[in-house]
Amino acid sequence: MKITPTISTLIFFLFVVFSWSCAASADDRVDGFLECLKDQVDNYTSISSLVYTPINSSFQSVLDFSIRNRRFMSASTPKPLVIITPECEDQIAPIIYCAKQNQLQIRTRSGGHDFEGRSYVSEVPFVIIDLLNFSEVTVDAEQKTAWLGAGATIGMLYYNIAIKSSRLAFPAGFSPTVGVGGHFSGGGYGILLRKYGMAADHVIDARIVDVNGNILDRKSMGEDLFWAIRGGGGSSFGVILAWKVGLVEVPETVTVFTIFRDLEQNATQLIHRWQYVAPTIDQDLFLRVIARRNTSADGKMTIRLSFNSVFLGGVDRLLALMQKEFPELGLVRDDCTEMSWIQAILYNTGLPIDSLEPLLDRYQPDVGYYKGKSDYVQEPMPISGFEGVWELFYEPDGKEAEFLLTPYGGKMAEIPESAIAFPHRAGNLYMVHHMIYWEAEQAQDEDKYIAWVRKLYNYVTPYVTKNPRGAFLCYRDLDIGVNNNEGVVTIETARVWGEKYFVNNFNRLVLVKTRVDPGNFFREEQSIPPLILRWTGKEDI
């Protein structure tokens, strides 16, 4: 019998083929991806031991190893289909190619500290490239430079600097386990912020794999892409392999102190006064203030401010400076300890200051639950503003919360907004970090805690930057806006969150993205979209 397909069966057939190819099951995509890798990699044995799928017993532990926020470690958190832990640069291009071929998204993870877990969570089928083994650090003390793999931690960088020189340092963050892949590409700051600016300000070269699998350095990537990955985030542009940084000089002796002041000790007047002092004082002084609720043994609640400082100099000069500029704080010699810069790093982490080895440990036990948000302040907040914040801290859900003010000024005010993609410079007195933490036992109340920190954020609206309201990419916050996960992302969708992170640098980031990844392969909830270059219809296809 001769079968003549009717139009309707043909349409049905086309429909089936079409929908099948668009929505191949996750299993098919994984099979396709793995088959593709076998074709692309000359010696598959050399990479197969680095490829994890859920059938490998260590899949879960490799996934969990770098998770730093337990909110994204639950059974309901979307999991990757594949995790790959490459060991050499030429293993990355085949992964990108095969992910593209099989419509899988890539998430690149370096240290896994993303506040919203974006390096290891996606709502669409995805593969993780986990760079934890790209962790080599080579310090050249003569040249005052270092090359570091994107998967190195800042602790590894600090360690390798310290064993070579006590006079060299690097202006990156507090926690040693933070990965340089996300940290430098988001900006990155720490105790040397007012003296030297952001970590990204000191990046002098980089290696990146682009969407076509090319390995580029500063020269071959071009100054616009090199500009973009210093503060514009890595996840929009490719897989960053390594950074070269310039090291900075610090004195042999620095001085640290942390002093506490409760409401009963004029804490509100002190934090109010702090706003006028900390951003303008000598840039050798980094003095931040952290507010938390504190309950005494007899159950009485108060707000305890912790004035936490590193001064790039000896105690005598520090005391003279504080006596002149901030006598109200009442700093005395006994509050102060002289030490080396690397000891100040350890001190601020809460590690014993006599051993460097813990800086190398990238594993972090006791990962907790948290939600963070950020703001910038350009005009001092009134006393009443702080009093309102304290009231929120007295609410039951404010028990484990933090309101952390980091002074800007100094070098930060000297670097132009457009120097690198990180934009928050002159005009900002300080950055605010709103944080709330909870424990596993309270996990079912997660929404309440998140609601609390959002309430705090809403409360401070009159006192912080507007149009756009500034935010710090390293403190990623999906509340401020997200892209659609699938389909075309418009510039206007991305502008909602993008101008908060990048202010006037947002448009230039879009242009860079349009040049380097016009098909928007490297994408996530807060990645820069390319301009859509519409076909004008003037030519025949």
Ligand X SMILES: *[C@@H]1O[C@H](CO)[C@@H](O)[C@H](O)[C@H]1NC(C)=O
Ligand Y SMILES: Cc1cc2nc3c(=O)[nH]c(=O)nc-3n(C[C@H](O)[C@H](O)[C@H](O)COP(=O)(O)OP(=O)(O)OC[C@H]3O[C@@H](n4cnc5c(N)ncnc54)[C@H](O)[C@@H]3O)c2cc1C
The residue ranges that bind ligand X (CB under 6 A) are: 43, 45-46, 48-49, 51-52, 55-56, 87, 132-133, 260, 265-266, 269, 294-295, 304, 362
On whether the CB atoms of residues 489 and 523 are closer than 8 A, the answer is yes
Closest separation between CB of residue 398 and ligand X, Å? 12
Q: Which is nearer to ligand X, 294 or 378 (CB)?
A: 294
Nearest to 278 by CA among 88, 409, 153, 180: 409
Kindly identify the residues of this chain, within the stretch 111-140, that bind ligand Y according to CB under 6 A. Answer: 111-115, 118-119, 131
Nearest approach in angstroms of CB 399 to ligand X is 8
Exactly one of 107, 424, 425, 433 binds ligand Y (CB under 6 A); that residue is: 107
Among 99, 150, 216, 271, which residue sits at the site for ligand Y (rule: CB under 6 A)? 150
Residue 265 or 442 having the CB closest to ligand X: 265
- Burial group, residue 123, by CB count within 10 angstroms (0-12, 13-18, 19+): exposed
Instruction: Mark 158-197 with x for binding to ligand Y (rule: CB under 6 A) and - for no binding.
Output: ---------------xxx--xx-xxx-xx-xxx-------
Q: Which helix (H) or strand (E) holds 471?
A: none
Supply the minimum distance, in Å, between the C-beta of residue 126 and ligand Y.
11
Residue pair 422/230 in contact (Cβ under 8 Å)? The answer is yes
Closest distance to ligand Y from the beta carbon of 237 (Å): 7
Q: Based on the shown chain and the rule CB under 6 A, indicate whether residue 109 belongs to the binding site for ligand Y.
A: yes
The C-alpha angle with vertex 138 and arms to 65 and 219, in degrees rounded to 5, equals 100
| Active centre residues (catalytic) | 475
Instruction: Please report whether residue 99 would count as binding ligand Y according to CB under 6 A.
Output: no
62 token code pair? 């490799």
Pairing verdict, β 82-84 and 126-130: parallel
Instruction: Give the pair of three-digit tokens for residue 234.
Output: 């890595």
* Cβ distance to ligand X smaller for residue 363 or 535: 363
CB under 5 to 8 A by kind: which of ligand X, ligand Y, none does 425 bind?
none
Site for ligand Y in 56-85 (CB under 6 A): 68
Extended beta strands in 50-166, E state: 51-52, 82-84, 105-109, 126-130, 137-140, 145-149
Could you say which of ligand X, ligand Y, none residue 234 binds, taking C-beta under 5 to 8 angstroms by partner kind? ligand Y
Q: Check: CB of residue 124 under 8 Å from CB of residue 84.
A: no
Q: Is 94 helix (H, G, I), strand (E, B) or coil?
A: helix
Nearest to 238 by CA among 150, 138, 133: 150
Handedness of CA 129, 135, 136, 142 (dihedral sign): positive
Specify the pairing of strand 82-84 against strand 51-52.
Answer: antiparallel
Question: Measured from the CB atom, is 68 or 272 closer to ligand Y?
Answer: 68
- By beta-carbon proximity to ligand X, the closer residue of 110 and 483 is 110
* Residue 116 contact partner, candidates ligand X, ligand Y, none, CB within 5 to 8 A by sort of partner: none
Least distance in angstroms from the C-beta of 87 to ligand X: 6
Cα–Cα dist 227/421, whole Å? 6
Return the residue matching tokens 């507007």. 466
Mention every residue, 6+ apart, whose C-beta is less than 8 A from residue 286: 191, 192, 193, 194, 195, 309, 310, 311, 407
| Least distance to ligand X, CB of residue 46, Å | 4
Question: Cβ closer to ligand Y: 174 or 276?
Answer: 174
Nearer Cβ to ligand X (58/490) = 58
Q: Which does 108 bind (CB under 5 to 8 A by kind): ligand Y, ligand X, none?
A: ligand Y
**Residue among 517, 519, 531 at smallest CA distance from 234:** 517
First-to-final CA distance of the chain: 41
Question: If binding is defined by CB under 6 A, does position 92 make contact with ligand Y?
Answer: no
DSSP 8-class letter at 295: E
- Binding residues (CB under 6 A) for ligand Y: these are 68, 107-115, 118-119, 131, 150, 173-175, 178-179, 181-183, 185-186, 188-190, 234-235, 239-240, 474
